[in-house]
């Protein structure tokens, strides 16, 4: 039997000792050992009851996960506040696939999707549309308050919740997310503590124009790894108000810090809630400095390897929206594609073009005239995670383009700046 | 021969080959391809990590600062442990990160894995050990580069 290092209440110790069943004891042991590894002093209650799980895809090879889910269900365990999930992996209607792709996606790769979603429903899934990496969109409804304690995973969602919403969540792994949510308890360490939210880096933005969020986030992620950065000088470019535009910027910026590094929280001076409240007192003693100027961003941009087998050929498919596009971003991309094609005198996009967004955002967008106009260009809107499309080994030979630094990092997709990608799509 | 002492996350004895990454290892990008292919060995597939890209990690002592990237990381580690194609040891120069930590615990508690994990070995360890070196790991967290 595992002997915990942290302080447990009598009730928590009873769970660990198996008095509420063997499965719950294993769940508790996992959470306690996880906390002990990080010198957590105790378990604290999850105050935002709705969880968010990163493992949304029924990959056939995830047998250990399905077995564990079955054990939780058999033990009568579930997440009382419900939970959202990362995006579903396939959408044959909107993401064109050949017959071989279809077979691979629906049998070999994600053959367990149906069975897995049945498990998720039994464990507390918050409805059929609860699948987006951007669960914090208003349309998704999983929006924690400042100071809330969460049991979430998905690096970009944790990053956003901590940084933009001021909630508190560690960079939990898949499975730790549901274990904490089932227990309603998470270990108190790291980003849950005031000390852990202090910045070990002061990042000074000295660019001559608004930095591209995907590249700025990448540069900072690569530099600070898992540390917390306190960013000064960015507010001159993106303002001091958290509106749709800045939230979208921070979503993409944060996802790049989390995927190119391991950033779970950042502060932007005069903008993000804790930076507004506490200012540079958030800087930890002995913090380091990193200056980001135009040359540094160019250096980072140029460092991205091109993994296409034939880099001189043109791209065949463009994915936009990883993390999922917000409603404002989706509208903006649709406008840019529709108007860009008018400008170039072309009727159709030059390559398969896929815009990814959250299911409720997509459903609303589908009701608009703009959606019908967009469809005429050949572009499509989907709810999938493009990363899961690229898990198909057959796609490795396709020349995938993206303006997402996260997708670039985890696949052989080639990174393009938004403007470059748009110009390609509209044949400029 | 040089000796280092770290903190034991999961103990065990090992003598074998080191593979060294001087940058954070992206678990998803490194392991996913082999896991999906149901490969018998993990060939590191992270294009952004030239230190280990293309190297066989199965049964080796992977020496690294920390892991980085997607929060599927711990679960991916659990899966490759369940497939028994994991690195036999994870030797961290820094404090173990939350994703690798979760992965090790999930593997031990739910899969009965004997993966060895030692952290806080220090920067000098990572500066000293080279890919291809033989390392010996003892139950008390002592790591010797032979």
φ, ψ of residue A297 in degrees (nearest 5)? -65, -40
**Minimal-distance CA residue of chain A relative to B100:** A173
Which one-letter DSSP state was computed for residue A282?
Answer: G
Element (H, E) at A318: strand A317-325
pLDDT at B49 (0 to 100): 93
pLDDT at B29: 86
Nearest-Cα residue of chain A relative to residue B81:
A64
- The reported pLDDT for the residue numbered A161 is 98
Mutate to test the interface with A, among B72, B81, B84, B104 (most CBs of A within 10 A): B72
Write out the residues of chain B at the interface with chain A, using a CB-CB cutoff of 8 A.
9, 24, 26, 28-29, 32-33, 35-38, 47-48, 65-75, 78-79, 82-83, 96-99, 101-103, 105-106, 109-111
Which of the four pLDDT bands, split at 50, 70 and 90, describes residue B69? confident
B-chain residues near A173 (CB < 8 A): 71-75, 98-99, 102-103, 106
CB of A261 closer than 8 Å to CB of A221: yes
Say what the pLDDT of residue A109 is: 85
For A3-46, the three-class secondary structure string (H helix, E strand, C coil) is: CCCCECCHHHHHHHCCCCCHHHHHHHHHHHHHHHHCCCCEEEEC
CB-based contact A181:A46 (threshold 8 Å): yes
Task: For residue A56, give the nearest of A358, A404, A408 by alpha carbon.
Answer: A358
Q: Percent of chain A having pLDDT more than 90?
A: 91
B36–A225 CB contact, under 8 Å = no
Q: Do B69 and A259 touch (CB under 8 A)?
A: yes
The pLDDT assigned to A185 comes to 98
In contact, A191 and A293? CB cutoff 8 Å: no
Q: What is the pTM of this model?
A: 0.93
**Parallel/antiparallel/unpaired status of strands A283-292 and A317-325:** unpaired
Closest Cα in chain A, distance from residue B140 (Å)? 16
Angstroms from A357 CA to nearest CA on chain B: 19
Q: Does residue A393 surpass a pLDDT of 80?
A: no
Hey, is the C-beta of A171 within 8 angstroms of any chain B C-beta?
A: yes
Is residue B146 exposed (0-12), middle (13-18) or buried (19+ Cβ within 10 Å)? exposed
Per-residue pLDDT tens over the stretch B5-31: 999 999 999 999 999 999 999 998 899
A-chain residues near B48 (CB < 8 A): 305, 409
Q: From the CA of A410, how many Å to the nearest CA of chain B?
A: 5
3-state helix, strand, coil in chain B (%, to 5): 25, 30, 45
Q: What sign does the dihedral A409-A414-A417-A418 (CA atoms) show?
A: negative
Give the model confidence (pLDDT) of A129-160 as tens digits: 999 999 999 999 999 999 999 999 999 999 99
What confidence tier does A170 reach under pLDDT thresholds 50, 70, 90? very high
Q: Phi and psi for A42 in degrees, rounded to 5?
A: -170, 175
- Tell me which chain A residue has its CA closest to the CA of residue B50: A305
Task: Give the helix ranges, DSSP H, for A124-270.
Answer: 155-163, 176-183, 213-224, 235-238, 244-260
pLDDT value, residue B47 = 82
Mean predicted confidence (pLDDT) in A216-244: 97
Q: Of B33, B35, B47, B70, which to mutate for an interface test with A (greatest number of A Cβ within 10 Å)?
A: B70
Q: Residue B73 is nearest to which of A34, A173, A412, comparing CB atoms? A: A173
pLDDT at B132 over 80: yes
Start-end of H helices in A38-164: 63-74, 99-103, 113-123, 155-163
The answer to whether the CB atoms of A226 and B66 lie below 8 A apart is: yes
Chain B interface includes A168 (CB < 8 A): no
H-assigned helices in chain B: 27-36, 73-82, 98-111, 123-128
Q: Give the per-residue pLDDT at A396.
A: 78
What residues contact B123, with CB distance under 8 A and at least 6 apart?
A: B93
Give the one of B47, B68, B74 whose C-beta lies nearest to A262's C-beta.
B68
* Closest Cα in chain A to B104: A34
Can you tell me the distance from the alpha carbon of A387 to that of A372, in angstroms, rounded to the nearest whole number? Answer: 26
pLDDT above 80 (res B78) = yes
Q: Which of A31-40, A188-197, B45-54 is predicted with the least confidence, judged by mean pLDDT?
A: B45-54
Whether chain B has a CB inside 8 Å of the CB on A33: the answer is yes
Hey, is the C-beta of A374 within 8 angstroms of any chain B C-beta?
A: no
Q: Name chain B contacts of A37, Cβ cutoff 8 Å.
A: 9, 96, 101, 105
In contact, A406 and A259? CB cutoff 8 Å? yes
Q: What is residue A390's predicted lDDT score, i.e. its pLDDT?
A: 86
Radius of gyration of chain B (CA): 13
Please name the member of A30, A153, A226 whose beta carbon is closest to the beta carbon of B105: A30
pLDDT classification of A294: cutoffs 50, 70, 90? very high
Instruction: Tell me the percentage of chain A whose pLDDT exceeds 70.
Output: 100
Give Cα separations from A131 to A4, A89, A127, A128, A261 (angstroms).
35, 10, 9, 8, 25
In A, which residues are within 8 Å of B65 by CB distance? 225
Tally A–B CB contacts below 8 A: 122
Instruction: Give the 3-state secondary structure of residue A378.
Output: coil
With CA atoms as reference, report the closest residue to A191 among A148, A136, A251: A148
DSSP 8-state class, residue A131: B
| C-beta atoms of B37 and A393 within 8 A | yes
Task: Identify the residue among A169, A262, A305, A387 best suited for mutation to test binding to B, counting B beta carbons within 10 A and taking the highest.
Answer: A262
Q: Which chain A residues contact residue B25 at CB under 8 A?
A: none
DSSP A193-226: STGGGSEEEEEEE--SSPPPHHHHHHHHHHHHTT
Q: How confident is the model at residue B33 (pLDDT cuts 50, 70, 90)?
A: confident
Please, what are the domains in chain B?
Answer: 2-145 (3.50.30.10)
Q: For residue B127, how many other CB atoms are within 10 A of its CB?
A: 11
Looking at residue A213, what is its pLDDT?
Answer: 98
B96 contacts in chain A (CB < 8 Å): 37
- Say yes or no: A425 contacts chain B, CB-CB below 8 A: no
Asked if A400 and A406 touch (Cβ cutoff 8 Å), the reply is no
Compute the distance between CA of residue A227 and CA of residue A221 in angstroms, rounded to an integer.
Answer: 9
- Put simply, whether A109 touches B (Cβ < 8 Å) is yes
State percent of chain B over pLDDT 90: 86
What's residue B127's pLDDT?
A: 97
Q: Which residue out of B27, B98, B123 would a mutagenesis test of the A interface target, given it has the greatest number of A Cβ atoms within 10 Å?
A: B98
Judged by CB atoms closer than 8 Å, whether chains meet at A64 and B78 is answered as yes
Closest partner CB to B105 (pick from A33, A59, A412) = A33
């Amino acid at each position: 039997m595992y002997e915990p290092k942290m302080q447990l209440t009598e009730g928590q110790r009873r769970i660990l000792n198996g008095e509420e069943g063997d499965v719950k004891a294993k769940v508790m042991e996992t959470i306690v050992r996880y906390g002990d590894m990080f010198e957590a002093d105790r378990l604290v209650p999850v105050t935002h009851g709705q969880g968010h799980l990163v493992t949304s895809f029924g990959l056939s090879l995830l047998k250990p996960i399905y077995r564990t889910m079955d054990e939780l269900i058999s033990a009568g365990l579930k997440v009382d506040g419900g939970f959202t999930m990362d995006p579903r992996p396939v959408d044959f209607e909107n993401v064109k696939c050949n017959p071989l792709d279809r077979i691979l996606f629906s049998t070999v790769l994600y053959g367990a999707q149906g069975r897995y979603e049945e498990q998720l429903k039994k464990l507390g899934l918050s409805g059929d549309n609860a699948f987006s990496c951007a669960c914090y969109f208003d349309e998704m409804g999983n929006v924690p308050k400042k100071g809330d304690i969460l049991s979430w995973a998905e690096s970009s969602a944790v990053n956003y919740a901590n940084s933009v919403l001021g909630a508190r969540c560690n960079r939990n792994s898949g499975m730790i997310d549901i274990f904490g949510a089932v227990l309603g308890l998470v270990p108190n360490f790291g980003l849950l503590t005031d000390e852990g939210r202090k910045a070990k880096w002061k990042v000074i933005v000295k660019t001559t124009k608004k930095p591209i969020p995907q590249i700025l986030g990448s540069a900072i992620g690569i530099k600070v790894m898992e540390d917390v950065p306190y960013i000064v000088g960015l507010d001159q470019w993106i303002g001091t108000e958290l509106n749709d535009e800045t939230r979208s910027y921070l979503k993409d910026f944060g996802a790049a810090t989390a995927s190119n590094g391991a950033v779970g929280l950042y502060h932007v001076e005069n903008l993000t809630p804790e930076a507004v409240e506490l200012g540079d007192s958030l800087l930890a003693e002995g913090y380091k400095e990193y200056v980001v100027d135009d040359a540094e961003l160019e250096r980072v941009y140029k460092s991205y390897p091109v993994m296409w087998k034939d880099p001189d050929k043109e791209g065949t498919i463009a994915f936009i929206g990883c993390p999922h596009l917000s409603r404002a971003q989706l509208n903006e991309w649709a406008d840019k594609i529709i108007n860009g094609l008018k400008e170039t005198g072309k009727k159709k996009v030059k390559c398969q073009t896929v815009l990814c967004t959250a299911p409720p955002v997509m459903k609303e967008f589908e009701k608009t005239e703009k959606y019908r106009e967009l469809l005429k260009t050949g572009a499509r809107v989907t709810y999938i995670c493009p990363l899961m499309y690229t898990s198909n080994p057959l796609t490795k030979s396709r020349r995938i383009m993206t303006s997402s630094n996260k997708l670039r990092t985890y696949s052989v997709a080639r990174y393009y700046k938004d403007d470059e990608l748009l110009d390609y799509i509209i044949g400029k | 021969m040089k000796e280092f002492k770290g903190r034991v996350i999961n103990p065990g004895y090992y003598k074998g080959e080191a593979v060294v990454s001087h940058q954070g290892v992206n678990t998803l990008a490194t392991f996913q391809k082999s896991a999906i292919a149901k490969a018998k060995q993990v060939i590191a597939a992270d294009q952004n990590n030239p230190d280990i890209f293309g190297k066989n990690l199965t049964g080796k002592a992977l020496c690294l600062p920390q892991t980085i990237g997607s929060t599927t990381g711990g679960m991916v580690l659990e899966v490759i442990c369940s497939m028994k194609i994991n690195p036999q040891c994870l030797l961290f120069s820094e404090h173990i990160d939350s994703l690798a930590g979760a992965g090790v615990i999930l593997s031990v508690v739910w899969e009965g894995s004997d993966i060895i994990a030692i952290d806080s070995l220090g920067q000098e360890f990572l500066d000293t050990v080279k890919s291809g070196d033989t390392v010996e790991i003892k139950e008390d967290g002592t790591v010797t580069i032979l």
